[in-house]
Structure 1
Amino acid sequence: MLTRSLSTFAALWLAAVSASAQRIPAKPLPAQPGHLVGKYIARGVQIYVCTVKGGMSEWDFNAPEAELFDAQGAPFAKHYAGPTWEAHDGSRVTGKILASEPAPKTGAIAWLLLSAESSGSGVLAGTRFVQRLNTSGGVGPSGPCPTAGIERRVEYTADYLFYK
């Protein structure tokens, strides 16, 4: 009985590890992740603007606009152009894309690994990497756009992980 229980536990554990590994691509993980500051859920929009290039109109990504929440649902930070994340304690991180991986979910924005520069003191001070995973939605409109300068706001969700 004990052997069967251990075998069942081992099989379930391996299945969980395998499923988890499939959700996180190898490329966007930090080479030396360091200390995980936290994992936060973002809800917001990806903003696209109609631009004219060479006589053709098209949708270009402009900026994100989202709120990040902790595991208990409490507001943690806002996310905006830069890309920048600003915690409610005033600490701030600005990122630069190091790696991008197509999202496994159709219609979802890419998973990213970003290097980070932090400012201020607080929870985000010293952050070196930001990772965007488990995205849903956010992909810009396709095809030509009607009028230069108009915006489309596309809802998205994602998990953001911050590493020191």
Structure 2
Amino acid sequence: MIRTSLLIPVSACLLLAACAGTMHRSDMMSAPMPVADAIKVPDGHKLAMQTVGVGELRYECRAKANTTDQFEWAFVGPTATLNDRSGKAVGKYYGPPATWESMDGSKVTATQVAVAPGGDGNIPHQLVKANPAVGSGMMSGVTYIQRVATKGGVAPAAACSAANRGAAQTVRYQADYLFWKASA
């Protein structure tokens, strides 16, 4: 026999568990996650847009700088779709130069300010300072962009040597891009 005094608390726990199981990622990510001090946006800025970049990073086998007999996979550029938290495409990220473009046609390029470790097998987290936007729209007024929550994207594990100099490879990756604007 079930005691009714236990039924209400148990029912409440089950209801909360069911709701938590159906929570969307956008609900959980409504506020930016804590980031390393190195890539924090300076005071006086507010979060304007959050996207998830999904795509590929291109690498090319090249001689290391100032050498002729040592080789490495050099980063060439990205090709990614920027999605909102519901998975709808809202823009794209490509380069060189690194360019974030909204579906409304506005776009920004940026200069790297700092990086922080992204974890084993993941490209680093990053802070970039945006150049003035081209066009009016979502990218207009963007001052900083953070790359966080990276998955994958590191240089290929394949050998890079004189034998395959000039070879190109793409690597899948995903990252959250947080767009910041100056506070009014």
TM norm structure 2: 0.73
Q: Which runs of 4+ in 1 moved over 3 A?
A: none
Instruction: For 2:56 and 2:44, locate their aligned partners in 1 and report how far apart those are by CA, in whole Å.
Output: 28
Structure 2: which amino acid aligns with 1:144?
Answer: C
User: Which range moved further: 74-83 or 26-35?
Assistant: 26-35
| Correspondent of 2:168 among 144, 151, 161 | 151
Report what 2:108 is aligned to: 93
Q: 1:150 to 1:26 in 2, by over 3 A?
A: same
- What's the secondary structure of 2:58's corresponding residue? strand
Report what 2:138 is aligned to: 123
Cα offset, 1:57, TM superposition: 2.8
Q: Aligned pair 1:39/2:50, yes or no?
A: yes
- What's the secondary structure of 1:27's corresponding residue? helix
Cα offset, 1:76, TM superposition: 0.9
| Residues 33, 163 of structure 1: 8 Å contact kept | no
Instruction: For 1:58 and 1:115, locate their aligned partners in 2 and report how far apart those are by CA, in whole Å.
Output: 27
Gaps of 5+ in 2: 1-32
Cα offset, 1:27, TM superposition: 1.5
How many residue pairs match? The answer is 142
Cα offset, 1:150, TM superposition: 1.6
Structure 1: which amino acid aligns with 2:53?
Answer: A
Cα offset, 1:33, TM superposition: 5.1
Cα offset, 1:71, TM superposition: 1.2
Report what 2:179 is aligned to: 162
Pick the structure with greater CA Rg: 2
Between Structure 1 and Structure 2, which shows a larger proportion of strand residues? 1
Instruction: For 1:32 and 1:93, locate their aligned partners in 2 and report how far apart those are by CA, in whole Å.
Output: 21
RMSD after superposition:
1.4
Instruction: For 2:63 and 2:139, locate their aligned partners in 1 and report how far apart those are by CA, in whole Å.
Output: 38
Report what 2:128 is aligned to: 114
Cα offset, 1:55, TM superposition: 2.5
TM norm structure 1: 0.81
Cα offset, 1:35, TM superposition: 2.2
